[in-house]
Amino acid sequence: MFFPSLVVLLSLSVTAQGAAVPNTHVVHETREISTSRWLKRDRLSSNVVLPMRIGLKQQNLDRGHDYLMDVSHPESENYAKHWTPEEIIDMFAPAQATIDTVKEWLTDFGIDARRITNSGNKGWLAFDATASEAEALLHAKYHYYEHAEGHLTPACESYHVPRDIQEHIDYITPGVKLLAPRKRGHDKRRVAISSSQGDATTAPLRVFYPPDFNVTAAGELATCDKFITPACIRALYDIPETPEYPNGNPRSDNSLGIFEEGDFYAQADLDFHFSNFTPRIPTGTHPILASIDGGNSPVPVSEAGGESDLDFEIAYPIIYPQKITLYQTDDWWYASGGRGKPEGFFNTFLDALDGSYCTYSAFGETGNDRYHSLASLDPKYPDTLGSGEDAYKGQLQCGVYKPTNVISVSYGGQEADLPAYYQQRQCNEFMKLGLQGVSIFYSSGDSGVGGPMDESEGGCIGANYTVFSPAWPNRQAGIHSNITQANHPPSCPYLTNVGATKVYPGQTAKDNESAVVDPAGHPYVEAFASGGGFSNLYPIPDYQKDAVAYFYKNHNPKYPYYTTGVVGQDGGLYNRSGRGYPDVAANGDNIAGFCRGSFFTNGGTSASTPIFASIVNRINEQRLNAGKTVIGFINPALYANPSMLNDITNGTNPGCGTEGFQAVPGWDPVTGLGTPNYPKLVSYFMSLP
Ligand SMILES: *[C@@H]1O[C@H](CO)[C@@H](O)[C@H](O)[C@H]1NC(C)=O
Ligand SMILES: *[C@@H]1O[C@H](CO)[C@@H](O)[C@H](O)[C@H]1NC(C)=O
Ligand SMILES: *[C@@H]1O[C@H](CO)[C@@H](O)[C@H](O)[C@H]1NC(C)=O
Ligand SMILES: *[C@@H]1O[C@H](CO)[C@@H](O)[C@H](O)[C@H]1NC(C)=O
Ligand SMILES: *[C@@H]1O[C@H](CO)[C@@H](O)[C@H](O)[C@H]1NC(C)=O
Ligand SMILES: *[C@@H]1O[C@H](CO)[C@@H](O)[C@H](O)[C@H]1NC(C)=O
């Protein structure tokens, strides 16, 4: 259409460097911020082959939110009428006209149609091109850029596309994006082995009880203020011990999904837990392994991980005999930090649940992070970097597991430095999973209004590191400002974000809980504060508008805030226009359990998340048995009926040198709408179609 042939162009690109771009073309992307962290190096030689990817404009993404509300809002006539995966692909895939138009541009330019592939979900076109072809096609100049930490990536400062196809193209890579290596990465929610246990890694294989814990009384509730056992959790939320399964047989289509990465359970720990606290669960009971890209579990008891043991020790007593599916993600080489840096988060997991996510384009990103070098955010499979059994040699797993109805994720990407586009693309995927009827629960974090406390700046953001960090800081080096704008998946409005509560000292499981930092000022285990606040990335969703407005009107926080502009503008500490989190809460302090053969207590929103997820899984079971569909995205129903939750009105979530926000009557950014009231939740969700 625009160029007669490749041959002409090759010579053009060599002889006419810097020549005027034809007026048929427009700039599609330009890098606006330069930074000293990236040094522009040599021009690519003309015969270097680049893996070109053209992300095509998807249809209807802007309507995704409304579609999700249509199946999630209890007053909608389409409540719980979820979509099939095929319906979702059809709805969001680029239009055929888009694919055809862009392909025609490439073939007219001289790229043989046989060189071009279109991804399964039709989201992008891929072909290999020499640097000189790419430069001529895009009226661009490709250079190597060297990152301060040594990584080289090919990129251009700007590139052009024909004016009349621009509307069909999201972005092209390699292009203007420079992706910095991440400094540090995800860290599972903190698990504190109580100090009386000594060093957890060297603890001998024995079971130790603190003097004030009477194990024979474990089924009783006298010590719930010091040791949260399964019986305490049942008492707190009024959960019957005997599940509602006809003949004790759970359904085969309602296993609870639990995500783990780089942390593994040990059967001996689960067995200690069951035999001490829930003898009705036979020892040997274990999750169904859904291995993702080489992830494997369990491990010997001496190598057990606090997160995995905790998740199963919390969930099984609530849901047994219902099953659990363990999504153990990434091979040992990547999961254990083989690249000397943590891996990108959740992309390989989402790939395994939704094959189309492997090739899905949004926010300037297609599939997993594509510069497969040490700097890439995501692991690459087959794993060519690790060796032996540590390295998964198979292909990246795409769409190999049907997602479970409920997924519990007690991990966060604190310090993860994940760019905003990376998170927004994941948030879109959570929207699509919600459309399919999947309920996803994420922990709100354990650092109050700040980030993790081991950060030198206290985990806070803004020019002076005084501003509250929504969920996690995101100090994106490279092209973004060092004042973070970004945020972490848990603040995505299509997830249910879970904060932590506790039983007051001296009180019982029948009394009102408080936020983990109680009015007296302390949680039991290593100081932690339940994450909460307001997003810098996502606006207040409709379902939450009234709750947040009520909070501002009746319990206006004392801190200055900002709305637009830059983070921290005018001394503001939080974004008054952002989505508030958490949505709900559940107990997360002083949880009794076993890890590496020892008794321990621990805390964190890590514990709260599987509690809430397990409860929803039990309600789904009853809905399915009644011939209804599963609940799916639960937030609109919860916000429309907050009396199903026990409102928490005491406690705070300190951080950034402040006492944080206050738990108050109604929704608050410490404990959300409150903790679950199981009988009320059951009767409400059973009353819905
Ligand atoms: C432990 O609990 C059991 C059962 O409630 C009780 O009989 C026993 O006296 C308790 N032991 C101690 C040391 O409190
Ligand atoms: C940061 O601190 C300095 C020194 O106290 C002050 O002048 C400046 O206004 C602060 N900046 C912001 C954005 O708060
Ligand atoms: C980032 O940090 C540098 C040095 O710490 C500082 O000079 C600069 O003003 C900060 N802000 C931006 C937007 O780069
Ligand atoms: C505050 O949140 C709104 C809504 O998401 C967003 O548009 C705005 O950019 C945020 N402000 C800052 C400074 O991040
Ligand atoms: C417990 O919390 C409820 C709100 O959920 C409140 O109405 C009640 O007064 C509280 N009870 C006490 C003893 O504080
Ligand atoms: C909890 O808050 C209520 C008022 O919101 C107050 O009356 C009560 O004393 C508080 N409880 C504790 C233990 O501080």
Q: Confirm or reject: Cβ of 481 under 6 Å from ligand 3.
A: yes
Work out the average pLDDT over 127-135.
95
CA distance 609 to 628: 25
Average pLDDT in the chain? 82
Is residue 684 within 6 Å of ligand 4 at its C-beta?
no
Name the pLDDT band for 354 (thresholds 50, 70, 90). Answer: confident
What is the per-residue pLDDT for 75? 96
pLDDT score of 684 more than 90: yes
* pLDDT at position 458: 55
Give me the CATH code for the 190-687 domain, please: 3.40.50.200
Name the residue with the closest Cα to ligand 5, atom 8.
Answer: 512
Ligand 4, closest atom to CA 539? 5
Q: Cα separations (Å) of 84 from 269, 437, 461?
A: 39, 9, 41
Give the C-alpha separation, 492 to 469, whole Å: 15
444 has catalytic annotation: no
State yes or no: is 199 an active-site residue. no
- Three-state SS string over 417-432 comes to CCCHHHHHHHHHHHHH
| Residue 79 neighbours by CB under 8 Å, 6+ apart | 71, 72, 73, 688, 689
Q: Which of 311, 429, 455, 518 is catalytic?
A: 311
Average pLDDT on 578-605 reads 89
Highest averaged pLDDT of the listed ranges 443-447, 483-487, 671-675 = 671-675
More confident residue, 490 or 648: 648
Atom of ligand 3 nearest to the CA of 481: 13
Residue 78 has a pLDDT of 97
Residue 89 marked in a binding site: no
- From ligand 3's centre to the CA of 452, what distance in Å? 21
Ligand 3 center from residue 463 Cα (angstroms): 8
> Do the annotations mark residue 390 as ligand-binding?
no
Q: Is 307 a catalytic residue?
A: yes
Is 18 a residue whose pLDDT tops 70? no
Nearest atom in ligand 2 to 463's CA? 13
What average pLDDT does the segment 331-357 reach? Answer: 80
As a whole number, mean pLDDT of residues 366-387 equals 72
Among the listed residues 225, 307, 331, 446, the single catalytic one is 307
* 502 C-alpha to ligand 5 centroid (Å): 15
pLDDT digits (tens, 9 = 90+) for 293-303: 999 999 999 88
Q: Which ligand has its closest atom nearest to the C-alpha of 218?
A: 1
Ligand 3 proximity of 566 Cβ (cutoff 6 Å): no
Ligand 1: residue of 213, 214, 226 to mutate (most ligand atoms within 8 A of CB) is 214
> Is the distance from CB of 466 to CB of 460 less than 8 angstroms?
yes
Which ligand has the shortest distance to the CA of 514? Answer: 6
What residues flank ligand 2, with Cβ below 6 Å?
Answer: 463-464, 568, 571
User: Is there a contact between 426 and 346 (Cβ–Cβ < 8 Å)?
Assistant: yes
3-state secondary structure of 658: strand
User: Which range has the worst mean pLDDT, 33-47, 299-313, 370-384, 396-410?
Assistant: 370-384
State the closest ligand 6 atom to the C-alpha of 665, by its place in the atom list counted from 1: 5
Nearest CA to 285 out of 264, 271, 304 is that of 271
Strands 439-443 and 406-409: parallel
668 is in an annotated binding site: yes
Is 412 a known ligand-binding residue? Answer: no
Catalytic residue among 530, 606, 608, 614: 606
Q: Which of 308-322, 448-462, 620-634, 653-667 has the lowest mean pLDDT?
A: 448-462
How far is Cα 312 from Cα 259, in angstroms, rounded to an integer? 11
pLDDT higher than 90, residue 239: yes
**Cβ contact 494:438 at 8 Å:** no
What is the tens place of the pLDDT at every residue in 240-277? 987 777 776 899 999 999 999 888 999 999 999 999 89
Q: How confident is the model at residue 343 (pLDDT cuts 50, 70, 90)?
A: low
Ligand 4 touching residue 566 (CB < 6 A): yes
User: Average pLDDT for residues 314-332, to the nearest whole number?
Assistant: 95
Q: Which residues contact 187 (CB under 8 A, 6 or more apart)?
A: 342, 412, 414, 415, 452
